[in-house]
Amino acid sequence: MEMNQIRYFLALCEHRNFTHAARASNVSQPSLTAAIKKLEDELGGPLFLRDRAGCRLTPLGLLVQPRLEKVHIEAREAKAEAIRHIRLDRVPISIGVGETIGHNKLSEAVERYRARLPQAEIELIVARQEALLSGLREGSLDIAVTAAQVSPDLYRIDPLYRERYRVVVAADHPMAEKETVSLEMLANADMLDRPNCEMRDTLHGTCADKGYTLYAAYRSNRVDWLLALARQGSGAVVLPTTAIPIDDALVSMPIEDVDIARQVVALRFRQQASRPEAEEVVREFARGQSVFN
C-alpha cells in the first residue's frame, strides 16, 4: 500500500467524483483510477460503486475509511515532525540569562547541544530578572536561567547548579596572598559593589550582624566593569564562582565562616507549551553540574 493510494482514496471519499478528486489531487484521472484499482486489489474488494452522481463507498470502503484516515494523519504528522526536527522550524531557541549569571558553564552546554544538533539556532538574551519573567510569560523566551525565586505554580523549575560566592581581587592586591578572606578584611577594603546581586543583602546583613559595614568605592550593574576595576587594583568584588573568569591578573578566595551561595535554575512558564528542543537544552544545562565552590 502506497501513500499516494491512500491520499487518492481520501480525496475520492471527499469529492465522490473521480474527475473532481483527480483535479483536487493534482493528478490525471487515469492515474487516480489506476491507483484506486491497485488499492482495491490489495484490500480484496471494491471500495467504491459508481453511480450517476459520481461514486459512493462500498461496505468495505466504509470499513477501511477511518483506518486509512488515521494512517494519512499519522504520516503527515511524522513528516511535519521530521521537517521540524531537521529545521527546528528555523525559530531560534530563545534563552534568557540573568545579568549576574556566569556564562562559562552555560556557553559550554550550549556548544555541546549544537554539536549534537548543528542546525539548531540559539538566541541568548541577557536581561534583568523582571524582563526574563516577563519574556517567559509573553512567550518571547523559551527558557530563563536565573537565581530568582519564583512560584512553582507558575513556572517549571529545573535546578541546574548551586554555587558559592568568592572575593575577587587583583593578583597584586594585599588580600591576594590570603587563602581565605574574613568579613573584617572586607570591611577594611574598598568594595566594588553590584546593586543587582541576589546575595548582596545577605552579605551586608551578615556583616552588620558581626558589627562590620562594607564600603562601596564603586558600584555597577555590569560584572565586566567591576572586573576591569578589580584588575587595576581599585578594590574587591564578590562574585559567584561561575562568573569569575580564568585570568592571571585576578585571584579569588572564599569568605571565612560564611556560606553565601545561590541556586541557579532554568525556568519555563507553565502556561506556555514547552518546545521539545527546549527540554533538550535544559537537560544539557543540568548535565554534569551540581555545586561550584
pLDDT of residue 276: 80
pLDDT of residue 291: 58
pLDDT tens, position by position, 162-173: 989 999 999 999
pLDDT of residue 85: 60
Please, what are the domains in the chain? 3-88 (1.10.10.10), 90-161+263-292 (3.40.190.10), 163-261 (3.40.190.290)
pLDDT of residue 9: 93
pLDDT over 90 percentage in the chain: 48
- Distance from CA of residue 209 to its chain's centroid? 40
Expressed in angstroms, the distance from the first to the final Cα of the chain is 62
pLDDT of residue 99: 82
DSSP letters spanning 7-65 = HHHHHHHHH--HHHHHHHTTS-HHHHHHHHHHHHHHHTS--EEEETTEEEE-HHHHHHH
pLDDT tens, position by position, 228-240: 999 999 999 999 8
pLDDT of residue 274: 78
What residues in the chain have per-residue pLDDT under 50?
A: none
